[in-house]
Amino acid sequence: MNRKRLPELVESALIHYQFETIHPFADGNGRVGRMLITLHLLMRSTIKTPVLYLSPTLETRKDEYIDRMFEVSRSGAWLEWIRFYLKAVADAAESAIATAARLFALQRHYRERVQKAGRSANLIKIIDYLFVSPAVTIPELQTVLDVTYRSAQLNVASLIKVGILNEVPGPSNPKMFVAMDILDVIADRKRDNA
C-alpha cells in the first residue's frame, strides 16, 4: 500500500500497534506509545497542537485495548484493532473539546471577576497568560507584563485575593503561584469556584 494514501489516523493506529508490540521494556510502553501518537499526528499536521490525550480513554478500556492488539498478533485482526483505535481517538477528541470548552468558560469567569472588582488591565493579561502557563512566578510575570517587580507582585496579590492564584507551599525561589482551577479542569477534577 502506498503510505502517502493511507489516512493519518489509520497510519497512527498501525504505528502504535507496532511500537507496543516491539518495544522491549516491561514498563513505560503505554505512556511512551501514547505520546508517540500525538507526536506523529503533530508531525503529519493532522492536529495543530498536542491536545489529543488518549491515555484516559485507553485506560478505561485497558482489557479490550490489550486484547485487540493481541488479536492482531495472534490472528491478524487488523480491522478490529483499527476500529477500536479510531473510536478511542474520537472519544479522546470529544473529551479534549469538552475540556477546552470548560477552560474557555473558566477564562470568561476569571475575566468577569476581575472586571467587576475594577482591577487593572494587567490582571486580564495575567489571566490570559495563566491559560498558557497555569503556574507562574513574579519575575516571569514581570517579563510578560513588562512592569516592575513590585507591580507584578501587587498584581499577583490581587489575584490571590480574588481566589484565582494560590501560592505553592514550601521553599522555592522564586515563589510559585498556581491557578488550581485551571489544573483541575485539565485533570478533570471538580472544585467549587468562589
Domain boundaries, the chain: 3-97, 117-186
Mean pLDDT is lowest, of 56-65, 101-110, 174-183, for 56-65
User: What average pLDDT does this structure show over 157-174?
Assistant: 92
Is the pLDDT score of 6 beyond 70?
A: yes
**pLDDT > 90: percent of the chain:** 68
CATH 3.60.15.10 is held by the domain 117-186:
no
CA distances from 122 to 146, 151, 152, 158, 159 (A): 10, 9, 9, 11, 11
**pLDDT score recorded for residue 194:** 37
Q: Establish whether the linkage from the previous residue to 50 is cis, with ω within 30° of 0.
A: no
Task: Print burial letters for 21-52: b (CB count within 10 Å at least 16), e (below 16).
Answer: eeeeeeeeebeebbebbbebbeeeebbeeeeb
In single-letter form, the type of residue at position 73 comes to: S
**pLDDT score recorded for residue 95:** 92
Q: Where are the beta strands (DSSP E) in the chain?
A: 135-137, 166-167, 176-178
Split at pLDDT 50, 70, 90, the class of 91 is: very high
